[in-house]
Structure 1
Amino acid sequence: MTVHDKDTEILETRETTKKDCQQTKLCSIQKDIDMNDELKDRIKQLENELKDQRYTDRNTIYELENCVADLQKNILLQQISIVILDRTIRRNLTSP
C-alpha cells in the first residue's frame, strides 16, 4: 500500500465517519422533533381535559347553588308554617 493509498483511505474513513456523525445528528434531531410533536399533542389533550373538567365543575357548582336555594326556600316555608301554626294554637287557646 502506497502512501497515497493510505492517505486516500484515511480521508475516506474520515469522510465516512463525518457522514455517519451527521446522519446520527439528523436522526437525533428528527427524534427530538417527533418527541416535541408528541408533547404538543399531549399538552393539547391535557388542556382539553382541563376545559372539560372546568365545565363539569361549573355545572356541579350551578346544581349545588340551585339545591341551596331550594333548601333555603323550604326553610323559609317551614318557618312561615311554624309561625302560622303558633298563631293558630295561641288563638285557639285564647278563644273562649
Structure 2
Amino acid sequence: MTLNSDGTFTTVGWPTNLEDATSDPQSRTGSGTWERTAANDSDWPVSFSFHKISDYWDSDVRGGYYGDGLMVSGSRENPRLYAFVGDPDNCDLVTFTRAS
C-alpha cells in the first residue's frame, strides 16, 4: 500500500476478502482516496474510498465507492495500520508498517 500526501492511495493484495472478485487476492490492485477521521465519525481512524479494485469495482462504471478502513497503533515515528481478519475475538490481524 502506498499512501500519498495528496490523499490518494494504491494497493496490491488488499482488500483480500471480496466474495465476488475474480482475481487472485495477492495480485489484486486498488486505488482511490484516503483520509484520517475523527474517532466518533467512522469505524476506522484511517478511511479508504476505493475508486477502482481490479476485477471487482470501478467507479467510472458502477458509480459510488467501495469503502474500507484501518485502525492505527504505534507512534508517530513507527506507525502501524491494521485490520482484524474475521472475528476480532480471534485476534487475527493484517498489519501494515511504514517502509522507507
TM-score by length of 2: 0.12
**Structure (1 or 2) with the larger CA radius of gyration:** 1
Identify which of structures 1 and 2 has the higher relative contact order when contacts are C-alpha pairs closer than 8 Å and 6+ apart: 2
TM-score by length of 1: 0.12
Higher strand share: 2
Higher helix share: 1
